[in-house]
Amino acid sequence: MKSIQDTYILSNGNKIPCVGFGTWKLEDTDTTVDIVKTAIDCGYRHIDTAFGYYNEKSVGKAIRTCGLKRSELYVTTKLSNGSHGYENTMKEFEMSMSNLDIDYVDLYLIHWPRPLAIRDTWIEHNAGTWKAFEELYNEGKVKAIGVSNFLDTHLEALLDTATIAPMVNQIELHPRYVQRDVVQYCKDHRIIVEAWSPLIKGEFDNPVLINIAKKHNKSVAQILLRWSIQHGFLPLPKSSSKERMLENSNIFDFKLSDEDIEALKALEALGKTGAHPDTATF
């Protein structure tokens, strides 16, 4: 990889840019339109949103008005927790398409495997949702399908009834929370692993991170994103600042040493920053 526009290859042969731009917590406003367009100007070609972010309209407007052809951008959105099951999935997908106002979605994900609303019937509901996903994929309305926050147990249950395997799994992933079991499962099944919260929500004051950043004359954020790339993950950093967007893209002119990678393992004692998929209260 030499730039954020370089690509991984999905199991269906489609290309996906190796770094995405996250939009979680960006509101549905003209400010968000400007932020996403700025990211695109900075070279980002992979934009990640979700129905549950409530900003699809702004993201879609940025995509339509940025000056690039639709085919030059990679757009991901996600099914919300309240719409699992075949019919609900189909309804919400049409709502997402209306919000985005684009002809197709490059990647459609199930946002969470066991939301509270279906905690006890998640296997049945996910099977129905995945049937809808496969239909949308076969009809060309989405170019790839996948999941988010799925552990290996959730993936196994989905694959019991799936005819098309998920192509992507987007999970919380950074040196504090490495999720080795699900990462290995995904590698074994040719599922690309995307990393949400790759910057650990800006918690940069750890001395290990600071020392490695000084060693390479890079920022802590660049160290964290480089860690993702060297592990073959696809990080999804978010920033509202053009300076930070550019900084986050400048991660291909250095390499973490084996010693650096080993030192970063000390962060694992600190753990995750987000919810666990089996116990999330939403």
Contact 52, 26 (CB under 8 A): no
Structure tokens belonging to residue 85:
């099951």
Q: Which of 195, 182, 192, 193 is nearest to 155 (CA)?
A: 182
Residues belonging to the active site: 53
Report residue 37: phi and psi, to 5°. Answer: -65, -35
Closest CA to 144 of 4, 236, 11, 19: 11
> Residue 282 and residue 275: Cα distance in Å, rounded?
9
50 phi and psi angles, rounded to 5 deg = -165, 150
Question: 218 with 209: CB under 8 angstroms?
Answer: no
The CA distance from 47 to 56, in Å, is: 11
